[in-house]
Amino acid sequence: MSDTHAHSVAFVRTETLPELPPPASQAGIVKWMRENLFSSVPNGILTLAAIYVIYLIVTSAFPWIANGIWNADSLAECRTILDGTTGACFSVLTERWNQLLFGFSYPTEHYWRPSVAFVLLFAAAAPVMFFDLPRKLLIFTGIYPFLAYWLIWGGTIFTPLFALVGLVIGYLVYARFVKDSFAMGFFGGVIAALMTWFIGGYITEAIAPAEPFLEAVQSRNMGGFMLNMILGVVCVSLSLPIGIVLALGRQSDMPIIKWICVVFIEFIRGVPLITLLFVANVVLAYFLPPGTTFDLILRVIIMITMFSAAYIAEVIRGGLAALPKGQYEAADSLGLDYAQAMRLIILPQALKISIPGIVNVAVGLFKDTVLVSVISMFDLLGMIRGPILSSTDWNGVYWELFMAASVLFFVVCYGISQYSQWLERRLATDHR
């Protein structure tokens, strides 16, 4: 049969043809565009509309940025150079950059100090943020707050040094006694730390040099983006332990403690931050002992810390509630008491679950630090709206300044939120 077939057909291909490339409409960029941009008529219209919007934004923003003037001394000079063409006057940023970052009354020759503190912040935060780094680095994280205080505020080094020594002694006492009972370790540690601080206060007064190595800078001289960073970092770190305590209190079986925590959390979460800042500005002084004067910055730190503690407490409560009940029961069945169960079993897991939420609260809080400009503190926004826009040289430079402020905040907040998403993926141990 095959013979006859072979004779009847003139040519039979014995090898397979090479693969042809797919049709032009089904390959490469054309296919991608067909699938992603023009899959249907409405989709195509949407694409064209979106491209038109992008075109409008780019054509209006690009010449403005590209023609920007970076080296003029005032807005008037800027306009002369531009000579009627569209263009930004970025020279306000170059001329007032230090003011935007440090405020207008931080001593110029000491700008390196907050800058060093800012750079060291990354070194201190790294071991907290990335678990793969050696744990020994946490020692530097522990030292950092005192170092940063000394760098930014200056003054005698003995104040932060004794504060640190007090904490170390307190921790040593705690570690010595905690094996017997948590309460004993805790109170022993607190008493030891307080005593060290008390004695350290006297010693500092006695031996502090009249001319300290770093000149002291008053709190009221802090300003600019530095103030936002200080408020954000300090308040978030202080509010974490308070938030944990509040969350545990809210979960407690003891009705009085539970209700104290519930009322505090719901009250703080129910009012806007700005009313709390009003409290810090005008009301808090009435509740302090007569004659005491608190820095405004310290009062603001107290109120913002309370504010973020309430929010962090709610996030951690979510983490606690997400833990399976078996974990609590397992801790009980091992015979651990409440402090041990929380410290060794519950909190490590609950905190791990709540890290993304805590980071969100931190980002929100950092953005909210610009509200202090409303109570006439000169943070980044306060600097822009106050001294810079009202100066004769730069009266009328709105967009460049607001753009700079937005970019500064965007970089920090976007960075943190990307980190949080990375962490979420990293911590996701379930199999999806």
Partner 1 sequence: MTSITDPPQGSFRLSMLINDTRYRSYTFQFIALVVLIGFMAYLGMNLVSNLAAAGLNISFDFLGDPAGYDINQRPIEYDSQSSHLRASVVGIINTLIIAVLACITATIFGVVAGVLRLSNNWVVSKLMAIYVEIFRNVPVLIWIIIIFSIMTVSMPSPRAFRGDDPSSSMLFDTFAFTNRGVYTPKPIFDSGGWIVVAVFILSIIGIFAYRRYATKKLYATGQLLPTFWPSVAMFFVPAILVYYILGRPITLEYPSLQGFNFQGGIQLRGSLIALWFALAIYTGAFIAENVRAGIQAISKGQTEAAASLGLRPGRIMNLVILPQALRVIIPPLISQYLNITKNSSLAIAVGYMDVTATLGGITLNQTGRAIEAVLLLMLFYLTISLLISAVMNVYNNSVKLRER
Rg of the chain taking only CA atoms, in angstroms? 31
- DSSP per-residue codes, 80-125: HHHTTS----THHHHHHHHHHHH-SSS-GGGTHHHHHHHHHHHHHH
CB 159, min distance to partner 1, A = 26
CA distance 286 to 299: 12
**Of 121 and 285, which has the nearer Cβ to partner 1?**
285
CB 149, min distance to partner 1, A = 26
CB 100, min distance to partner 1, A = 13
**Of 151 and 246, which has the nearer Cβ to partner 1?**
246
**Of 152 and 363, which has the nearer Cβ to partner 1?**
363
Phi, psi of 15 (to 5 degrees): -110, 155
**Of 91 and 373, which has the nearer Cβ to partner 1?**
373
Q: 184: which residues sit within 8 A by CB, 6+ positions away? A: 177, 178
8 Å CB contact between 152 and 117: yes
CB 127, min distance to partner 1, A = 25
**Of 192 and 370, which has the nearer Cβ to partner 1?**
370
CB 297, min distance to partner 1, A = 19
CB 321, min distance to partner 1, A = 14
CA distance 157 to 358: 33
**Of 110 and 385, which has the nearer Cβ to partner 1?**
385
**Of 148 and 372, which has the nearer Cβ to partner 1?**
372
Residues that bind partner 1 (CB under 8 A): 35-37, 39, 43, 46-47, 50-51, 53-54, 253-257, 260, 266-267, 269-275, 278-279, 282-283, 285-290, 363, 367-368, 370-371, 373-374, 381, 385, 396, 398-399, 402, 405-406, 409-410, 413-414, 417
8 Å CB contact between 387 and 106: no
| 278 alpha-carbon distance from chain centroid | 23
8 Å CB contact between 254 and 292: no
CB 2, min distance to partner 1, A = 48
| 235 alpha-carbon distance from chain centroid | 10
Q: 276: which residues sit within 8 A by CB, 6+ positions away? A: 268, 303, 304, 306, 307
- DSSP per-residue codes, 128-197: HH-TTS-GGGHHHHHHHHHHHHHHHH-B-THHHHHHHHHHHHHHHHHHHHTTT-HHHHHHHHHHHHHHHH
Indicate if the alpha-carbon torsion angle 360, 364, 365, 366 is positive or negative: positive
**Of 111 and 187, which has the nearer Cβ to partner 1?**
187
8 Å CB contact between 157 and 212: yes
CB 399, min distance to partner 1, A = 8
8 Å CB contact between 296 and 280: yes
CB 305, min distance to partner 1, A = 17
Greatest Cα pair distance in the chain: 119
**Of 156 and 281, which has the nearer Cβ to partner 1?**
281
**Of 73 and 332, which has the nearer Cβ to partner 1?**
332
CB 64, min distance to partner 1, A = 13
CA distance 96 to 81: 19
CA distance 285 to 324: 45
Per DSSP, what are the bridge partners of residue 424? Answer: none
**Of 162 and 409, which has the nearer Cβ to partner 1?**
409
CB 290, min distance to partner 1, A = 5
Q: Taking each helix axis from N to C terminus, what angle separates 158-177 and 138-153, rounded to the nearest 10 degrees?
A: 150
